[in-house]
């Protein structure tokens, strides 16, 4: 018959195809990891840059006071730097006082729902700061959710609507990176931990988690797990 013969692939051709596919997968993983790192570092670098600019601006403004005092340094630290840091602390305190007013809260809420919503690290940082305040309840709730590896601590960054909760499961010891999961409300258990306490557990890779283990044991006895 004069039909075309089917093409036969040599083992070397299959090996090259497999190697090319593996290389493409590795490059895709490297690229996605690199882009994820850039997106994560961008707001941190931006905040550090803004703080540096603010400190430099305050240092320039304090130069007349430093020259009038005639003291260049205190304990090896430039007087201008000390005055600048104190000025920024006072400015932060004044801003905090304004934020307690109704106008300040309205302005801050608009800013948080627009510009600051682009930076997920902002919510984490805010929850961490609020957890140190005795009069303020943090908006971030620390819960426990079941996973294939066991029960994990997770952060609830927004109030749930319906039966399904969106939670962020942080990694250890680098708690700022992790995974987003969706858990049914029946699977979510409160942990009675503040964000600061949960972050410290992550940083210590679980050391000092006797309170959490006791809570899990209590829930198991009650048949809640």
Q: What is the pLDDT of residue 89?
A: 79
Buried b (16+ CB within 10 A) or exposed e, 86-101: ebeeeeeeeeeeeeee
The 3-state DSSP class for residue 146 equals strand
* Closest by CA position to 167, among listed 148, 149, 138, 147: 147
pLDDT score of 154: 92
- Reduced to 3 states (helix: H, G, I; strand: E, B; else coil), residue 137 is coil
Domains of the chain, start order: 29-118 (no CATH), 141-221 (2.30.30)
The pLDDT value recorded for residue 164 is 92
**CA 98/CA 224 separation, integer angstroms:** 45
CA–CA distance, 167 with 153 (Å, rounded to integer): 10
Q: Nearest 5 degrees, angle CA 66-CA 55-CA 138? A: 130
Q: Mean pLDDT for each 10-residue chunk of the chain (225 residues)?
A: 52 55 74 66 71 76 71 66 77 75 73 62 59 58 88 86 88 82 89 84 84 85 75
- The pair of three-digit structure tokens given for residue 16, joined into one six-digit string: 């090259």
Inter-axis angle of helices 79-99 and 102-114, nearest 10: 100
Neighbouring C-beta atoms of residue 121, cutoff 10 Å: 15
Distance, first Cα to last Cα, the chain: 70
Judge if pTM exceeds 0.75.
Answer: no
Task: Classify 140 in phi/psi space as left (phi over 0), alpha (psi -120 to 50) or beta.
Answer: beta
């Amino acid at each position: 018959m004069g039909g075309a013969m089917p093409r036969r692939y040599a083992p070397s051709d299959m090996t090259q195809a497999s190697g090319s596919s593996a290389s493409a997968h590795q490059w895709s993983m490297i690229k996605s990891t690199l882009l994820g790192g850039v997106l994560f570092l961008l707001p941190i670098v931006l905040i550090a840059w803004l703080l540096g600019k603010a400190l430099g601006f305050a240092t320039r403004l304090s130069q007349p006071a430093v020259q009038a005092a005639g003291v260049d340094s205190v304990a090896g630290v430039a007087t201008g730097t000390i005055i600048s840091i104190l000025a920024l602390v006072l400015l932060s305190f004044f801003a905090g006082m304004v934020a307690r007013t109704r106008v300040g809260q309205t302005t801050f809420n608009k800013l948080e729902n627009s510009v600051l919503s682009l930076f997920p690290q902002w919510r984490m940082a805010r929850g961490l700061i609020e957890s140190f305040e005795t009069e303020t309840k943090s908006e971030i709730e620390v819960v426990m959710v079941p996973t294939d590896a066991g029960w994990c601590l997770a952060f609830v960054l927004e109030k749930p609507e319906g039966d399904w909760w969106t939670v962020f499961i942080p990694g250890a010891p680098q708690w700022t990176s992790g995974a987003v999961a969706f858990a049914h409300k029946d699977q979510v258990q409160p942990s009675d931990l503040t964000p600061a306490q949960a972050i410290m557990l992550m940083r210590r890779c679980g050391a000092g988690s006797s309170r959490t283990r006791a809570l899990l044991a209590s829930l198991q006895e009650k048949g809640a797990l």
